[in-house]
């Protein structure tokens, strides 16, 4: 019977969940590696001046200690700026300036696609000697940027188009980060991983405050977030009644009466049984079953089937635990990953590509392993989990070990014809 089945857990479909996140992340990293390999023929000369290098400008004549101290100063300045900007975004979101935030995000996306993307395309045109006139180039670039903004910030656009543009935005920003000096890049990655850990887990962390506000108001965060399609499980008993088992994350506390009425009528029509309005809503939440048209109603991720008493106890739980649910998962059960995670994963492998492809393979495997660990922890702990720390730490560790140990071992084996 469908009534005796526990809700579907993320663990039941973890492999599918990982694939749906790893695929766009891998594509973004692959594209950055390709760009770095084509455009950065000499990594020592490829550096840019930006807010990241405002405190210290690295030169080849500096000692390793000076480079490390300067990179540390650059990272502290950049993390401080990011923290202040994030708190400003929290304040604006608290003051309900949502339209302004969306316009700001749309303008930022247009700048990335139009200006950053256009400059990279110009470099590629120059590299491959592509014959194109300036008018055609500007028209195509303008249309590409405008369509990208509409695809990211309009819900009616096909999800595949939106996901593709998000990957492109992540790739463009990541490539420009790879142009930073080497020491600054590596120290910045570690600093951002630590910042991500504090911003999400600390009670006064800006990202935690932002998500708590969004969940308490039942609103979407005005940010660039990649959302994978939720995994839908078809059960033999439930599908025969027109109901689909879907992994969901949390219950929306402000569900409108129209939504509940629609769900009640849909279930009643499919089962030909008259069910009370409140009973239908409670049963749908407890069993993790939602009618396909009403995917916004949801239930806890890993909890077993709740009784009426447990449901009342959950309503009386602390507001903090209720607000923390939903971080990392959409209301329809789709796993969400911030575009910043895409960017800094790609920065790591892009910087590794400036050395050799052996380190690229090692760093890629480390990032994928770290992301898989993060998803499993998300399934087990059901709370806010930053996606950067595990992957970045493993990636940096594998990069160092590959350069210091693995490369020496492989070179010696090749020279002695042990492996070739």
Alpha helices (H) along 218-256: 236-240
**Cα–Cα–Cα angle for 388, 230, 216, nearest 5°?**
70
The 3-state secondary structure of 105-158, one letter per residue = HHHHHHHHHHHHHHHHHHHHHHHHCCCCCHHHHHHHHHHHHHHHHHHHHCCCCC
Describe the chain by its helix, strand, coil percentages, rounded to 5: 65, 5, 30
The 3-state secondary structure of 340-389, one letter per residue = HHHHHHHHHHHHHHCCCHHHHHHHHHHHHHHHHHHHHHHHHHCCCCCCHH
- Residues forming the active site: 196, 341
Coil/strand/helix, residue 232: strand
Helix 339-353 × helix 14-39 angle, to 10°: 50
């Amino acid at each position: 019977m469908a009534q005796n089945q526990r809700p579907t857990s993320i663990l039941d479909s973890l492999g599918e969940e990982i694939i749906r996140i790893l695929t766009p992340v891998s594509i973004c990293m692959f594209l950055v590696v390709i760009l770095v390999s084509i455009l950065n023929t000499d990594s020592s000369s490829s550096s840019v001046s930006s807010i990241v290098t405002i405190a210290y400008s690295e030169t080849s004549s500096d000692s390793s200690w000076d480079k490390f101290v300067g990179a540390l100063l650059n990272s502290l300045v950049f993390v401080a700026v990011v923290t202040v900007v994030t708190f400003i975004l929290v304040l604006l979101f608290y003051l309900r300036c949502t339209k302004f935030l969306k316009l700001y995000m749309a303008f930022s996306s247009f700048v990335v696609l139009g200006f950053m993307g256009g400059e990279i395309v110009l470099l590629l045109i120059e590299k491959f000697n592509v014959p194109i006139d300036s008018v055609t180039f500007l028209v195509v670039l303008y249309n590409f940027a405008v369509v990208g903004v509409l695809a990211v910030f309009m819900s009616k656009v096909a999800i595949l188009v939106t996901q593709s543009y998000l990957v492109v935005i992540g790739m463009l920003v990541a490539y420009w980060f790879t142009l930073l000096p080497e020491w600054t890049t590596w120290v910045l990655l570690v600093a951002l991983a630590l910042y991500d850990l504090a911003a999400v887990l600390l009670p006064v962390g800006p990202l935690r405050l932002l998500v708590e506000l969004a969940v308490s108001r039942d609103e979407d965060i005005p940010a660039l977030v990649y959302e994978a399609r939720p995994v839908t499980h078809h059960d033999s008993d439930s599908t025969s009644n027109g109901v689909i088992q879907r992994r969901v994350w949390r219950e929306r506390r402000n569900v409108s009466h129209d939504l509940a009425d629609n769900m009640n009528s849909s279930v009643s029509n499919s089962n030909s049984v008259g069910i009370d309005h409140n009973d239908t809503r409670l049963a749908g939440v407890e069993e993790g079953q939602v009618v396909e048209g009403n995917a916004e109603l949801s239930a806890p991720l890993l909890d077993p089937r709740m009784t009426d008493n447990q449901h009342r106890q959950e309503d009386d739980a602390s507001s903090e635990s209720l607000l923390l649910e939903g971080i990392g998962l959409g209301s329809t059960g789709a796993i969400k990953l911030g575009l910043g995670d895409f960017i800094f994963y790609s920065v790591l492998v892009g910087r590794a590509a400036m050395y050799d492809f052996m380190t690229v393979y090692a760093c890629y495997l480390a990032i994928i392993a770290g992301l898989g660990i993060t998803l499993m922890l998300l399934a087990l702990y059901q709370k806010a989990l930053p996606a950067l720390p595990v992957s970045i730490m493993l990636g940096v560790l594998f990069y160092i070990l590959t350069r210091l140990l693995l490369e020496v071992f492989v070179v010696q084996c090749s020279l002695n014809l042990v492996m070739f």
